[in-house]
Amino acid sequence: MAVTDPLQIIANALTTIDTKDLFDFLSLYVQKEKVERIIIGKPLQLNANPSENFLRVENFVNRWKNAHPEVPIVYYDERFTSVMAQRVILQSGVKKKTRRENKGLVDEISATIILQDYMSSRR
C-alpha cells in the first residue's frame, strides 16, 4: 500500500496488508486520514485482457463502492509493476536471500510505482 503527500507530488510506501485484511484496514484508514480517492491496480494480461485476479479485485471494488461511496476507487494498469519493483530492489543492493523472502517489499514498491504513475498521468 502506498500514500501520497497532501500536494500529491510523491508516492511513498505505507505498509503491506494481507488481502483478507485490506477492506477493514482501508475502512479504518479513511476514517482517520483525508483520502480523496483510492487507486487500485488493475490486473491485466499483456494483451490488455483481464487476468485471473481481476474478478477478485472487481469484487473488492464493488464491495468498497457499496460501503464507502464517498471515497471513489480508480483502477490503474498494474502490468510490469512487479518487474519494475524487483529491479528497484536489485539496484538498491538488497541481499538475494532478503529479496526472495520479502514479497511484501515487492508489493509496497509496486504500490508506490502504481500511485506515482497515476499521479504523473494526471499532470
Asked whether the beta carbons of 10 and 4 are under 8 A apart, the reply is: yes
Inter-axis angle of helices 81-91 and 103-121, nearest 10: 110
- Residues 25-45: tens digit of each pLDDT: 999 999 999 999 999 999 999
Structure confidence at residue 92 as a pLDDT band (50, 70, 90) = confident
- Cα separations in angstroms, 103 against 8, 10, 77, 97: 26, 23, 20, 12
Q: What is the pLDDT of residue 101?
A: 64
Nearest to 13 by CA among 113, 90, 98, 87: 113
- Residues 75-90: tens digit of each pLDDT: 999 988 888 988 888 8
CATH number of 2-121: 3.30.420.140
Q: What is the pLDDT of residue 20?
A: 93
pLDDT at 57 over 90: yes
User: What is the pLDDT of the chain when averaged over all its residues?
Assistant: 91
**CA–CA distance, 4 with 13 (Å, rounded to integer):** 9
Strand, coil or helix: 25: helix
> Structural domain boundaries of the chain?
2-121
Structure confidence at residue 91 as a pLDDT band (50, 70, 90) = confident
Q: What is the pLDDT of residue 58?
A: 96
